[in-house]
Copies of this chain bind each other. A is one copy, B any other.
Amino acid sequence: MIDTLRQHITDRLGNNVDDKLELVLSCFEPIIIDRNQFLLKEGEVCKYVYFIAKGCLQVFVYDNDLNETTRDIVTEGTWCSELMSFGSGNPATENIRTVEPSELLAIDKPNFQKMMQTVPQFEKVYKQLLETSYANSVYRINTFVALSALDRIKWLMKYRPKLMTRVSSKLIASYLGINKDVFSRLKAKL
């Protein structure tokens, strides 16, 4: 499992972390987890940043009627956390749950900070993570706000085609901000 993360890091930072790489990896705790398990509930403090070696996570909020709105669906090879809560120690506003049985590598804040201090390149990781997350959010706002339900579906099929077959229609609908019945109908028309 740890190989996936080793690969991920060397891909990004090149070979100039070779000597520190194993130290970094030793800060992560492997987690094997079933599907439909909560990694974070809103109101709790987010204590970890997760690297997804295998599987799929859902980041979402509940509205007043307990309907879910999914902000992100994250799969293997990427990071997942609730960065505002992780960074500030304030209660999280979002929930994180496994969509599939997953294999994760978790780093807690003390280790995260230790890494930031001892491995200079690791500082970049957090900044990159934050910048990427921000860029994704901005992109999502600019893309989705003006699109019709049908165009959102087309967008998903173009940019994240694997999701369509991998996760449930209910989940996708909550990600696209569409009613699930509407999603079912529109999908049939493509």
Interface residues of A (CB under 8 A from B): 61, 63, 67, 69, 71, 83-84, 87, 93-94, 130-131, 133-135, 137-142, 144-146, 177
Contact = CB atoms under 8 A, between A and B. Distances in A.
Q: Report how many copies the assembly holds.
A: 2
A134 B67 contact: no
A136 B61 CA distance: 15
Contacts of A142: 61, 69, 71, 93-94
5 contacts: A83-B131, A84-B134, A84-B135, A133-B134, A134-B134
A169 B84 CA distance: 32
Contacts of A144: 145
Given A93-B142, A140-B141, 9 more contacts: A69-B145, A69-B146, A71-B141, A84-B135, A84-B138, A87-B131, A93-B139, A134-B134, A134-B137
Contacts of A67: 146
A130 B177 CA distance: 26
Nearest to A132: B84
Contacts of A145: 69, 71, 144, 177
A69 B147 CA distance: 10
